[in-house]
Amino acid sequence: MSERLPSPLADAVDSRARLRPPLTHVPLSDAPLPPLDGMTGPWPGVEVRVCGGADGTDVAGSRYDGVLHVRHTPGPGPVPEQPGRHPAGGARTAVYVHGLGGSSTNFSDLAGLLSPWAEGHAPDLPGFGFSPPAEGFDFSLRAQADVLADYLTGHCRGPVDLVGNSMGGAVSMMLAAHRPELVRTLTLVSPAVPDRRPDPRRLADPRLPLAYLPLVGRRVRRRLAAMSPRQRAEQVLRLCFADPTLFPEHRLAELIDEHGARASLTWAEEALGRSTTEIFRAWFTPGRGSLWALAPRITVPTLVVWGMRDRVISVRRAPRTARTLPRARLLVLPRTGHLAQMERPTTVARAVLGLWDRADEGNW
C-alpha cells in the first residue's frame, strides 16, 4: 500500500525520482491493529532520574541531573517473528518525543496501536508535562537531545525506534545525527525544521507577540494568565488540528486537566517561553550548526509524516526535509494538521509499522 504526495508538492520531488526511489512511496503495513479504545486514559507515568554526561558523549557538553516524568506502554513480550518485530525477537523499544507545549500524552493513541510490536517510552521533556527542568537547564534543542540520549542510555534497550513530533522531531534529528548507535529507525511528524514565515496564524494566541513588549506586555501577560484551562486547550486544538471537532471528547477532557495541573507549576511559563526562543535561535543558526546541515548526517531509515493543513510548520518544508535526509520517505496526509499522530493515529501507525518492517529487512 502507498499514499502519493498531493499536487502541487508532487512536482517538487519529481526531479529527484531518477536519483533514488520515489520519496512519496510509503509502504503501509496491513497488520491487524488493536482497536482504539475511546475510554482509555493516558498511559501510566513514573518519575525517572536522569544523570548524564559521565562518558563525555553529550551533544552540548552539559551534565544534566534531574527527574523526567515518563509514560510507559507495555509491549507484547517474546512472541513469534512478525512484521515490525526486532530482528532478534522480543519486543522493540519505541520512544515518543513530544513537541513545544506538548507532553507525553500526545502519543497515547499511537503508542497503544503500536503496543503489540513495541514497548513504549514517552518522556515529558524538561520543562514540559510534569518534568521540572533541572537548575541551569538552557532549553536549547541540543540540551534536550542530551537529556534524551542520557535517558535512552540509562533506561532503554537500544537501539530504539524514535518517533518525534514538532520540536520533538528536531530534538530527535539531533540525537540521531550525534548518537546514531542509539537509534534504529526515525519517524518525524511535522518536525520543527526552519520555517521563518511571519504569519500570526501560526500562534495559538495572536496576542503572544505583544506579551514581551515594553508598556503593554505586562497587561497582555495578565490576560493570557487569566485564561481557563479549557480556553487554553481549545486554542491548541484550533492551531494544531485541521478539524478540531474531530478531537475525541475524552482526549479533550484529558488536555483540559493537564493544562489545569500545569497552571500551578512555577516553571511552566518560563520553560515554554525560553524553549520558543531557542527554537527560533536554531532556525537562524547558519552553516554547520543549521538543522539543514545536520540532516545529511542522519543515516538511519527515516519516515517523514506531514499534514497538508499544518499551520505551524508549513507542508512546503516537507519535500526538502525528506530529500535532505539520506534514507527518508515522505507521507503527506490530506485534511491533517500539525499533530498527525493524534489526528490520524491509525494511518501513522501503519506507516510506522511499514518502516519497521522494511528497515528490518534492509529494504527501506
Burial class (CB in 10 A: 0-12, 13-18, 19+), 344: buried
Q: For residue 77, which amino acid is it?
A: G
Amino acid 232: pLDDT: 82
Collect the ranges in the chain with pLDDT lower than 50. 1-6, 8, 10-19, 54-61, 78-89
Amino acid 209: pLDDT: 55
Q: Indicate the CATH number for domain 9-196+227-361.
A: 3.40.50.1820
Closest CA to 125 of 50, 235, 72: 50
Amino acid 127: pLDDT: 97
Q: Taking the CA atoms of 71, 114, 156 and 188 in sequence, report the sign of the dihedral they define.
A: negative
Cell numbers that stand for 12 in this block: 517538487
Amino acid 67: pLDDT: 95
Amino acid 149: pLDDT: 96
Please report where in the chains the cell 518519575 appears, as a residue: 47
189 φ/ψ angles, rounded to the nearest 5 degrees:
-105, 110
CB neighbour list of residue 216: distance below 8 Å, 6 or more residues apart: 210
Amino acid 84: pLDDT: 41
Amino acid 205: pLDDT: 54
Show me where the domains of the chain are located: 9-196+227-361
Amino acid 18: pLDDT: 42
